[in-house]
């Protein structure tokens, strides 16, 4: 019988075994030395690494065109690991308001540690050169952004970053690697909340960082030090999600496009944000750097105030009122009341979000059923 934990029966099982072991027996002191010196593949302790997790990392890396990938406990753990790995006191970090709101809390911690931070609107990305400093070490963006689906030109940002030798990090959660590969556009690193479309079933939390082998080694050191290694069971769920990822991503994008086109014509929707629409300000750039569609998330304003948005959401039957995105189910929420609670009230609307803005994540439902649900709920507004 094989001693390899991934091939315990001598030939490879169709599903990667869930290795729940926290620690491992050493065959000899020489084997221990070879493992700890990195001369041979092996495992010592779960905080260091896990064979189930490592197998999923090997599957994720090529999806982003990366040499390797690090999987950790959550999407925010992935972002935090990037900041802790590459930033030091006195460094300057550029963040965009149009990133996941929890990064605001992390920014407060970074500032306490001596990192200087500038916040920009994604609409200002074309003029980022004016905000660069000699000590700018990192530009961190999300495209399409959360929640307004603003599009940032990754190649242009990389060109700007190069002028001060800064690192460009792109959160690719909204686009997913099905529609966009930021590394090929010039990003140094890509991060994901794998809780979303990569996992896709509302039953796991995980984060991913993809990049070079050198970056993997640096990020592995941080993960091992702070203890953010994913558990084996969640890694197994993530691997299961990857098996249907392409099918789900394609359907979610098609559903989002259809709903966006319907809503763009509706008189009770004064604004819609989706890069797949010709009228969207980011459409031209999105067509240049995205393929196979424009992602499964859209945002739009309902009526004239928040009560209109609440009435609309309460009237939905199929689309579910819940946070998160990228799931098999279609999910909707009011960002001002949910995903943006991490931000002070005055900051929640400073970059275009309104109190009646809703974010809709398309699932894999039949398209016509989603349109019907939107139509009947809007009649109640």
Residue 314 tokens, joined: 């309460």
Is residue 366 flagged as an active site residue?
A: no
> Exposed (0-12), middle (13-18) or buried (19+): which is 117, by Cβ within 10 Å?
middle
223 has which bridge partners? none
Task: Give the active site residue among 86, 100, 104, 216.
Answer: 100
For residues 53 and 123, what is the distance between their CA atoms, to the nearest angstrom? 37
Task: For residues 225 and 280, give the distance between their C-alpha atoms in angstroms, rounded to a whole number.
Answer: 44
Of residues 24, 26, 43, 47, which has the active-site annotation?
Answer: 47
Known catalytic membership, residue 9: no
Q: Which of 274, 255, 271, 257 is nearest to 327 (CA)?
A: 255
Q: What sections of the chain are H helices per DSSP?
A: 29-36, 51-63, 75-86, 103-112, 154-162, 176-179, 182-185, 213-226, 232-243, 245-264, 283-289, 306-314, 345-348, 367-378
* Pairing state between β 136-142 and 207-211: unpaired
Let me know if 171 is a catalytic residue. Answer: yes
Counting every residue written for the chain, the total comes to: 381
Does residue 326 contact residue 283 with C-beta atoms inside 8 Å? no
Choice among 68, 98, 123, 171 that is catalytic: 171
In the numeric block, which tokens belong to residue 283?
């459409």
Integer CA distances (angstroms), 238 to 50, 64, 70, in order: 14, 16, 13
d(CA 203, CA 196): 10
CA 237 to chain centre: 17
Residues 63, 193: Cα–Cα separation, whole Å: 15
The reply to whether 359 belongs to the active site is no
Catalytic residues: 47, 100, 171, 196
């Amino acid at each position: 019988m094989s001693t390899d934990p991934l091939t315990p029966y001598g030939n490879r099982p169709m599903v990667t075994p869930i290795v729940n072991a926290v620690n491992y027996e050493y065959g000899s002191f020489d084997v221990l030395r070879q493992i700890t010196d990195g001369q041979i593949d092996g495992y010592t302790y779960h905080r260091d690494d896990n064979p189930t997790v490592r197998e999923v990392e090997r599957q994720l890396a090529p999806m982003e065109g990366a040499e390797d990938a690090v999987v950790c406990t959550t999407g925010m753990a992935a972002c935090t690991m990037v900041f802790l790995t590459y930033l030091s006191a006195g460094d300057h970090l550029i963040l965009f308001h149009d990133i996941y709101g929890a990064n605001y809390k992390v920014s407060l911690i970074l500032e306490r540690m001596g990192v200087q931070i500038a916040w920009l609107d994604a609409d200002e990305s074309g003029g980022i050169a004016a905000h660069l400093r000699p000590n700018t070490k990192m530009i961190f963006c999300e495209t399409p952004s959360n929640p307004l689906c603003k599009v940032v030109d990754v190649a242009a940002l990389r060109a700007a970053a190069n002028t001060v030798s800064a690192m460009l990090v792109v959160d690719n959660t909204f686009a997913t690697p099905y529609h966009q590969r930021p590394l090929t556009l010039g990003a140094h690193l890509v991060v994901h909340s794998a809780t979303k479309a990569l996992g896709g079933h509302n039953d796991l939390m995980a984060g991913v960082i993809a990049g070079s082998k050198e970056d993997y080694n640096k990020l592995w050191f941080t993960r091992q030090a702070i203890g953010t290694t994913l558990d084996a069971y969640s890694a197994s769920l993530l691997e299961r999600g990857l098996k249907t990822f392409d099918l789900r991503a394609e359907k979610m994008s098609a559903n989002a496009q259809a709903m966006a086109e319907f809503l763009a014509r509706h008189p009770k929707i004064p604004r819609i944000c989706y890069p797949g629409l010709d009228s969207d300000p980011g459409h031209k750039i999105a067509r240049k750097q995205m393929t196979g569609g424009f992602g499964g998330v859209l945002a739009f304003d309902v009526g004239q105030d928040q009560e209109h948005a609440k009435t609309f959401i309460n009237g939905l039957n199929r689309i579910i009122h819940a946070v998160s995105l990228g799931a098999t189910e279609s999910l909707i929420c009011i960002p001002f009341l949910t995903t943006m609670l991490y931000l002070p009230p005055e900051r929640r609307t400073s970059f275009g979000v309104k109190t009646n803005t809703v974010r809709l994540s398309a699932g894999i439902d039949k398209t016509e059923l989603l349109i019907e649900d939107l139509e009947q709920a809007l009649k109640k507004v």
